[in-house]
Amino acid sequence: MLHAGHIPDAVTGARAVPIYQTTSYVFEDTDKAAQLFELKQYGNIYTRINNPTTAVFEERIASLENATGAVATASGMAAQFTTMMTLLNPGDEIVSSSHLYGGTMTQFTHTFKKLGVKAHFVDPTDIENWAAAITPKTRAWYGETIGNPQGSILDLEALADLAHAHNIPLIVDSTFATPYLCRPMDWGADIVVHSATKFIGGHGSSIAGVVLDSGKFDFSSFATIADPDPAYHELKFYETFGHYGFLMKARAVTVRDTGGALSPFNAFLLIQGLETLSVRMDRHVNNALAIAKFLSEHPKVEWVAYAGLPNNRYHALAQKYLPQGAGAVFTFGIKSSNPRRAGKEFIEGLHLFSHLANVGDARSLVIHPGSTTHQQLSDAELEAAGVSAGMIRLSIGLETTEDLLWDLDQSLQATSA
């Protein structure tokens, strides 16, 4: 978290990572320039493709995830879009967990439809569902380590084994876990994506994403990676670059052409975030567990869905994949004859929890998914995504535990039954 990806600058000796706030880089000579454009030299061309500050973030997160490399993107949404646009052709299909961030579901359903890609959504908790949804066109499986918002835990090892038996790469969004709590590639995941906006940045200051590849999946049968690429003078990315063919294609073609590159300043802020990831995550999960226990015993609380609690249906999976803590985002429901109204009253009665559409800030956050993040979904889609009308989602921050308990308690007491 502190050293990987950055060796102090040879010329200045600067210890912190310098911010290379530049669009472009002067070439050594015309031959080297031509070779850079042909990808025969590694080097900096243009910040839409790579940048020395961003490269530190990329290598550092790759080191933390045990990945062969990484491509940073402007947002988490851009990270998953970059991944899919690199892997898929029109007519291809993906199978995805339905326990997803609402924005991801919308991207997969509607934006991908425009590109000729069909997404099949399955209840991720029954492994049979994944295999049953495979068609000859299936090119990827996708799920979240900790599903947003219902807090289900993906059975990574079983899913990876089954995906590989069908020659399908397993893509995991590990935003809620961070590489400190879980490294999906150690369980067989092939590609990991993050919304680095959340716990990685950690301070609610920067929108960012990242795509990581284990380098282990055999993409030789994937037309998009293995066939001669007309967008790059007939280069065969997989044959030429092997274990980093996917990432080179993602960087040199997908991000180059779709433009979702990370800014160097945001990369710097993410690097600052990563330096304290372990100490912050310990505090996030300790606070989250204390609050989940408190709520589960509170007379005004109907249910709490946190895999860190022993009675949760995902507790065994959480112990296997997230032994240091089941994350710091979870949901609960208020005991009320009118849960929608009670949810509204509860949120409006809070003093310390910020009501906004984000998670993974240093500060504690609260939201009502049914009316915000998941509002584009139909009732049926809401149900499939496990979002109930009165569900409240909390993202537990780094405040003193007692202060958070006080705030939740006073607002629950004031909420009408």
- Nearest CB to other proteins, comparing residues 135 and 240: 240
| 32 CB neighbour count, 10 Å cutoff | 13
Write out the residues near other proteins by the rule CB under 8 A.
3-5, 7-10, 13, 31-32, 35, 38-44, 50, 52, 54-55, 58-59, 62-63, 66-72, 215, 228, 233-236, 239-244, 247-248, 251
Helix residue spans in 116-263 (DSSP H):
127-132, 156-165, 178-181, 223-226, 237-241, 245-249, 256-258
Question: Minimum Å distance from CB 324 to other proteins?
Answer: 23
Residue 350 CB, shortest distance to other proteins, in Å, is 40
Residue type, 234: E
Cis bond leading into 149, ω under 30°? Answer: yes
Residue 192 Cβ vs other proteins, minimum distance, rounded to whole Å:
13
Neighbours of 44 (CB within 10 A): 17
| Cβ neighbours, 10 Å, residue 188 | 20
Q: Is 75:200 a contact under the CB 8 Å cutoff? A: no
Reduced to 3 states, what is the DSSP secondary structure of residue 262? coil
Report the C-alpha gap between 275 and 309 in whole angstroms: 29
At closest approach, how far in Å is the CB of 49 from other proteins?
A: 9
- Give the Å distances, CA to CA, from 359 to 79, 103, 355, 395: 17, 14, 11, 5
Residue 213 contacts residue 221 (beta carbons within 8 Å)? no
Residue whose CB is less far from other proteins, 251 or 368 = 251
Q: Closer CB to other proteins, residue 268 or residue 314?
A: 268
Nearer to other proteins, 81 or 238 (CB): 238
Whether the Cβ atoms of residue 146 and residue 176 lie closer than 8 Å to each other: yes
Closest distance of CB 1 from other proteins, Å: 11
How many degrees, rounded to 5, is the angle at CA 416 between CA 359 and CA 339?
55
Which residue, 267 or 305, has its beta carbon nearer to other proteins? 267
For residue 174, CA distances in Å to 101, 209, 312, 400 come to: 12, 11, 20, 26
Q: How far is the CB of 80 from other proteins (least distance, A)?
A: 17
- Residue 16: count of CB within 10 angstroms of its CB: 12
CB of 193 to other proteins, least distance (A): 14
Q: Considering the complex, state which of residue 101 and residue 237 has its C-beta at the smaller distance from other proteins.
A: 237
Q: Give phi and psi for 373, each to the nearest 5.
A: -60, -30
Instruction: Give the nearer residue to other proteins in terms of CB position, either 248 or 387.
Output: 248
Q: Tell me how far, at minimum, the Cβ of 383 lies from other proteins, in Å.
A: 40
Cβ closest to other proteins, residue 68 vs residue 286: 68
* Number of Cβ atoms within 10 Å of the Cβ of 152: 26
Of 41, 33, 55, 8, give the one whose Cα is nearest residue 267.
55
Nearest to other proteins of 36, 385 (CB atom): 36
Q: Alpha-carbon dihedral of residues 317, 320, 324, 325, nearest 10 degrees?
A: 0
Minimum separation from the CB atom of position 244 to other proteins (A): 6
